[in-house]
Structure 1
Amino acid sequence: MAILGGVVAILIYKSLDNNAISLMPDSGEEVEMIAASNSIPFPVIGPDFVESADKSVHAVVHIKAQWSQRTQTYDNFFDLFNDFFGNPNKQYYYNQPVIATGSGVIISSDGYIVTNNHVVQEADHLEVTLNDNRSFEAKVIGKDPSTDLALIKIESSGLPTLEYGDSDKLKVGEWVLAVGNPFNLTSTVTAGIVSAKARNINILGAKSAIESFIQTDAVVNRGNSGGALVNTDGELVGINAAIASNTGSYTGYSFAIPVNIVKKVISDFMDYGEVQRAYLGITFREIDSKFAEENDLDEAYGVYIADVLDGSGASKAGLKTGDVIVKIDNTKIISKSSLLETIGTKRPGDIVSVSVVRDHKLEEFEVELKNISGNTEVIKNNKIELLGASFVGLSEEEKSELNINHGIKVVELGSGKFKSS
C-alpha cells in the first residue's frame, strides 16, 4: 500500500526588493521564492463583504432529511434447492434508511425556513441545526416542485432572519454572496458576481416548471442547496438551487431562484397552504433571428404567441396568435424565462399590462390572470372539490405494511362523491 503525504507550502512575496525569501515547509526542505517584481504595487480596494456576511450567516441553517427507501432483494441461501425443485427465489422487501443534507434560510423570527423542494421532498423526518448549533425537529408547511421551493417550520422564537431584497433590481456584474451550511458546522460564505439572469437550464422536471435562475460564479457545492444568495447590503436576493457540473462539484457556475419568486411562493404557503399559480392562457415560443425573419418580425426578442386558449384572460383581453409580448407591466420580456418569472410572481385575479407588437405596432392590453381551472378562485391544499376529500401520500412505512408501491390515503371528508358513497 502506498502512503501519500501532502506538504503544504505557504508562499509569501516580498514586493519592495528582489531579495529571495526562504520558507521551511513541513518536510524541512528549504524552498526558495523569488519576488516577481521590484515595483511598488498600487493598492487595490475591493468590495467589503463583512457586514453582509455578518447579517446572513446566522440566518442560514443546516437541514438533515431522513426517509426510508423500500428496496427489493432475494434470498439466495437456498439457490441449489430452489434450482433443483424448480422454485424461484423468494423476494423480500426491506426499508433502507436514506439521509440527505442541505441548507435553509430563516425568513421569520418564529421559525419559518425556506429551502429547496429537492432537499425535503422525500423526508419523513427533518432536523434543523442553527448556526449556534441548536437543533430542532421541523415540519413541512408546503412544497412546490414547479419552482423547487419548500417552506418548513421549527418551534422557536427570537431567531435571526434575512430581509428580502428585490431580484428585479439585481444587475449583471453585481457582487453577491452565497451562504450555506453544508457540513453541519457553521455557515460558510463565498463571493462572486451575477453572471446572467433569467437562465433556463431545464433542470426541473415538474409540470409548469418555472426556471428563471440567477447565474453566479460564487462557489456552491453539495449541501448548499437551499442556502442564501445575498447582495452587498445583506439582503436575500435568491435561494441557491443548482450547479452546472459534470462531476457533482462546483466547476464555475451556480444558479439561484430569484427572491421575487420566493416571496410569492412562500406567502402562498403561509396564506393558503398551496401555491396560487397564475396563467396568461397562451402557448408561446421564443424568438431567434431565423424565426423573426421568417415571420416578418422587427426584432429577435420577446415571446411569440403561438395560440390563445379559449376563455382565458388573454383571449378575453384581445391578445391574438402572432402577437409578440415585449413587456409585462414594467418588466421587459426577452425570453421564455423572463415571461415565466414575471407571471410566476402574480396570483389569479391579478391584472397585468401586456405590451405586444402586432403588425409592427406596439399595443397594450389589460389581462386578468386566471388559475389552471380557468377562474380566479383560491385553490386549497390537497383538496379535490368534486370528490370532497383531502388526500396525502403514503409514507414508506405505510407502503411496506400494506405491501404496495404506490397509494394515497383520505385524511378529510367533505361534501362530495366520497362521502355520499
Structure 2
Amino acid sequence: MKKILSLVLVSALGGVLTLGAYKLFLEKENKVVVTEATPAFLPTNNVGNLYGTNETPNFTVAAENTVNAVVHVKNVSLSSGQMTFEDLFFGRRSQRPQLGTGSGVIINANGYIITNNHVIDNSHELSVTLNNNKTYEAKLIGTDPNTDIALLKIDADEELPYVTFGDSDNAKIGEWVLAVGNPFNLTSTVTAGIISAKARDLSGRSSQSFIQTDAAVNPGNSGGALVNTNGELIGINTAISSQTGSYIGYSFAVPSNIARRVIEDIMEYGNVQNGILGINGRTLNSAFAEKLGIDDTQGVYVESTIEDSGAEKSGIKKDDIIKEIDNVKVSKFEDLSGHIRSKRVNDVVALTVSRNGELKTVNVTLSKNETFNMPLVGRLKNASKEDLRKFKASHGVKIIELGEDYADYWKNNGVEEGSIITSINDVKVSSVDDVQNALQDKSSRSLRIELINSNGEKERYNFR
C-alpha cells in the first residue's frame, strides 16, 4: 500500500515539474491587446451607443404633468330598449337609463374639459370624476360630430390642473408619446408608444386626419390625452382599429391643432366655423398619374373648384397639383384636409402648386363652408337669391350634384341638379347648417324631404 502511494506522489510531482519547465522555457509569449473600434454594422438595440448615449426615454415628468388633468366622464343616456309586457299592456314605451363612460382632458384652470362627441352623445346626465376621486356635475358647452370633439364645463371650488396644448403639426413619426385615460373605470392610466403615422383616414372619404400611434388604448380611453415627452397635448385619443374591441396595436387621435380650433370656435361662436379651400380633388398615385398622362405621383390633383370659393377667387385651376400648404408637404388629400381643419373662415393659407410642370405659390382665403354631402341625395349648396327666385321659393338649399348611388332614382322622379330642398324632417332649411342640424335629430327613424323639382313642382319623399 505504501509503495502505491509513493508511486502516485512521484508521478504527480514529475508532471508539475514538466509543465512548469515547458511554460518557462519553451512557450512563446502571447500579448492580449484591448482596442475600441466602431463596427461597420450595429444591432438595432445598440444604435444609441453609436452616439455615446445609453439613456432610455424618461416619461415621468410628462406623466406627472398629465395624470391629474385627465378625468373620467360618465354619461347617463335614456334608451327605449326592449318593450316589456307592462309596456305592451299599458301602451307605452318606457325609457331606461343607459351608462356610458370615457375620458376627458382639463384644458384650463376654470374647468373646461375636452372629450369625444361619441362619449357624451345623447347624454341625459353628465358627471366628471377627477384623479383625486372628486366628482362634479358637468355641463355640455358644445359639440362637433364631424371631428368627434365635445367641450364640457365643471364648476370646482379651486383652480384645476390642466394640460397645455402642443403643436401637432410639429409632431414627428417615430416620436415617443404617452396615452393617458381612464380605461376600465380606473383612475388615470398611462401607456407609452410612438407616433406610427400622421394624416390617417378611417372613413374612406379622405375626410379625417388622425395621428396613429401604437400606445395601448382600450375602451374608456376615448377622449383622453395624447401627449409628447414634454407633457404637451398633441392629440385626443378617439378610436382603435380592432376586430375584438380591445387594443391590438393601432390607435388614433384627433390632432391637437384641430381639437383646439374646434373648442375655440365653440367657446367664441357657439358652433364650429369651418373654413374650406373650395376644391374637389383626389390623391395622386401611380395609376391615377398614368391615367392623366403625367409623371407626378405625389400631391393633390385639383379636379374642379367650387363656385365663389377662395380657391376659385385666387386662381386655382383644374389640373393644378397641390404640393405644399403653409410649407407643409402634401403627399395625399388627408395632409391637405387635416391642415385646413385646423384653420377657420377668412384665414389665409399659402399653397404651392405645380402647374404645367412649374411651381408657383398662391395665397387662398378660406371661405365659409356652404356645401354639404347629404345622405341619399348628394351635394347641397346654399341657394342664392336668384336660385330661390327662379322657383318662387322663400327658403331652401340647392342640389348641385346628385349622389351616384341614387342619381337614377331622383332623375326618374324629375329631381335634377338645381332642384331646391325646402324642408327636412318637417324643419324648414335655409342653409347647409340647417340641413346638418335637422339630420342630427335622431328621435325619428325616417327621413322626410320636401323639395321643388326641376319642373317647379313641390314634392315630398319619406325614407325609412
Shared topology, TM-score over 0.5?
Answer: yes
Report what 2:142 is aligned to: 142
Distance 1:185 1:301, change over 3 A: same
Residue 325 of structure 1 aligns to a residue in which SS? Answer: strand
Shift of 1:392: 9.6
Q: Is the 8 A contact 1:195 1:216 kept in 2?
A: yes
Residue 338 of structure 2 aligns to a residue in which SS? Answer: helix
Residue 162 of structure 1 aligns to a residue in which SS? Answer: coil
Report what 2:173 is aligned to: 172
Report what 2:408 is aligned to: none
1:3-42 equivalences under 5 Å are: none
Shift of 1:76: 9.5
- Give the count of matched residue pairs: 337
How far apart are the structure 2 equivalents of 1:229 and 1:44? Answer: 26
More moved, 220-229 vs 323-332? 323-332
Distance 1:280 1:77, change over 3 A: closer
How far apart are the structure 2 equivalents of 1:222 and 1:77? Answer: 33
Equivalent residue letter for 1:334: S
Post-superposition CA distance 1:37-74 (Å, at most 9, x none): xxxxx996310111110000000000000111123526
Report what 1:155 is aligned to: 155
Distance 1:190 1:77, change over 3 A: closer
Residue 218 of structure 2 aligns to a residue in which SS? Answer: coil
How far apart are the structure 1 equivalents of 2:243 and 2:300? Answer: 31
Post-superposition CA distance 1:315-369 (Å, at most 9, x none): 1111111111111112111111111111111111112111111111112212111
How far apart are the structure 1 equivalents of 2:330 and 2:439? Answer: 38
Distance 1:246 1:283, change over 3 A: same
Report what 2:182 is aligned to: 181
1:309-348 equivalences under 5 Å are: 309-348=306-345
How far apart are the structure 1 equivalents of 2:201 and 2:321? Answer: 20
Distance 1:345 1:77, change over 3 A: closer
Distance 1:392 1:282, change over 3 A: closer
Matched, 1:284 2:285: no
Report what 1:219 is aligned to: 216
Report what 2:346 is aligned to: 349
Equivalent residue letter for 2:171: L
Distance 1:197 1:332, change over 3 A: same
Aligned partner (choices 47, 66, 81) of residue 56 of structure 1: 66
Distance 1:131 1:395, change over 3 A: farther
Report what 1:98 is aligned to: 98
How far apart are the structure 2 equivalents of 1:311 and 1:92? Answer: 52
Q: Percent identity?
A: 48
TM-score, scaled to structure 1: 0.74
How far apart are the structure 1 equivalents of 2:180 and 2:76? Answer: 23
Q: Is the 8 A contact 1:243 1:250 kept in 2?
A: yes
Q: Is the 8 A contact 2:185 2:220 kept in 1?
A: no
TM-score, scaled to structure 2: 0.67
Report what 1:18 is aligned to: none
How far apart are the structure 2 equivalents of 1:161 and 1:357? Answer: 44
1:78-97 equivalences under 5 Å are: 92-97=92-97
Shift of 1:296: 3.0
Q: Is the 8 A contact 1:240 1:257 kept in 2?
A: yes
Q: Is the 8 A contact 1:147 1:210 kept in 2?
A: no
Aligned partner (choices 73, 78, 81) of residue 68 of structure 1: 78
Aligned partner (choices 244, 248, 253) of residue 247 of structure 1: 244
Equivalent residue letter for 1:47: P
Shift of 1:181: 1.4
Structural RMSD (CA) = 3.0
How far apart are the structure 1 equivalents of 2:428 and 2:115? Answer: 24
Residue 268 of structure 2 aligns to a residue in which SS? Answer: helix
Please identify which structure carries the higher helix content. 2
Residue 216 of structure 2 aligns to a residue in which SS? Answer: coil
Equivalent residue letter for 2:65: K
Report what 1:109 is aligned to: 109
Q: Is the 8 A contact 2:87 2:94 kept in 1?
A: no
Distance 1:77 1:270, change over 3 A: closer
Structure 1 portions without partners, runs of 5+:
1-41, 79-88, 376-381, 408-421
Distance 1:237 1:76, change over 3 A: closer
Q: Is the 8 A contact 1:348 1:369 kept in 2?
A: yes
How far apart are the structure 2 equivalents of 1:395 and 1:316? Answer: 36
Distance 1:356 1:116, change over 3 A: same
Distance 1:335 1:393, change over 3 A: closer
How far apart are the structure 2 equivalents of 1:281 and 1:394? Answer: 25
How far apart are the structure 2 equivalents of 1:257 and 1:102? Answer: 15
Equivalent residue letter for 1:121: D
Structure with larger RCO (C-alpha < 8 A, sep 6+): 1
